[in-house]
Amino acid sequence: MSLAASKQGLVALEEARRFMVDCLVKSKTPLAHAQQQADLLAEADYRGHFSHGMNRLEMYINDLHKNACDGAAVPTILNETPATAWVDGNNGLGAVVGNFCMDLAIKKAKEVGVGWVCAKRSNHYGIAGWYTMRAMKAGCIGMSMTNTSPLASPTRSKEAALGTNPISVGAPAKDGDGFVLDMATTAVAVGKIEMQRRKNEPIPLGWAQGPDGHPTTDASVAFDTACLMPLGGSELTSGYKGYGLGAMVEMFCGVLAGANYATKIRKWTHAGADSEADLGQCFVAINPACFAPGFEDRLSDMNGILRNMPTTDPALPVLVAGDPERHHMEKVDKEGGLAYHVNQIKTCTELSERLGVKPIVLV
């Protein structure tokens, strides 16, 4: 085990998944739904997005126990055309709603070339890339977006009005390669600040504002203020572009789906919530077979061009979207498990005692 890993708890991927399934089943969730949610959370950690994996489990558990989310809910279609669907998530788990919607979008893309599905009354759905990779596995280009609790300040504001509002686009290339963009429209996802706070470490300048509206490097101040900066940071460094992207996601999600939007969405990350989230989400699948033949070949060629560009530092090769995650998965496989921070393991131990499930086992 590496020195870095020795300060953390190494947990086998299947053990992490097992623990999350057990916790969810103990929290009013049918096994099939618990497995869907745990699969997503485990994949987030496997891909290196620790902010959106096990780190989120306790918050889901709290929602389920407060009846702010219905673990047994099944989505329903409210309106449908050959290429579109409007879905009511019925306040179900985000992964259950998201999987239903993306599968529906894929089915439509296979039949008519494109599927565009919007859902209302959903919940936090994890990494947006989970759904676009689902489309990729079906040979489609996938897009997914969601609104979130208001945690980001519009440019020139010192209060939050939009969420981190992530966007993901995934497309398949040859031999298992691909393009998987998965990004917040804020400078970072709020989970990254949570992780720095969990580790008692500062955050970089430009991630978040303090209560006075100016940037802060104190993770606790940033978390308590709950006012992330848009992608790009301040107005001087083009933060208004990130603000515009965040508002675009809000339009396609909360507004188009008839869900909550902007400041109408409940606060979630701070002490949980007793009310329904009613998040809006968007899922798109595009069938590349409807366009120029050889899409996957050309995407592989483009990836190769980018990866082989001359570098400013030979130790830092040019990457394409999805490469950092691929490298992290290789690292996990090599080390034999997920390197959770010791504070994360402590949280899991407390959760196992609270729910009466088998504690998480370290490698």
Q: What's the pLDDT at 190?
A: 79
Map out the domains of the chain with their CATH numbers.
1-66+327-362 (1.10.1530.10), 74-185+234-321 (3.30.1370.60), 188-227 (3.30.60.50)
Q: What's the pLDDT at 3?
A: 40
Cβ atoms of 242 and 231 closer than 8 Å: yes
- List, for residues 136-195, the tens digit of each pLDDT value: 999 999 999 999 999 999 999 989 999 999 999 999 999 999 999 999 999 987 778 988
CA atoms of 31 and 22, how far apart (whole Å): 9
Cβ atoms of 268 and 145 closer than 8 Å: no
Q: What's the pLDDT at 270?
A: 45
Task: Return all residues near 11 (Cβ < 8 A) that are at least 6 apart.
Answer: 337, 338, 340, 345, 360, 361, 362, 363
Vertex 244 angle, CA 239 and 246, to 5°: 95
Residues in the chain with pLDDT values less than 70 = 1-8, 268-273
Q: What's the pLDDT at 269?
A: 56
Q: What is the CA radius of gyration of the chain?
A: 20
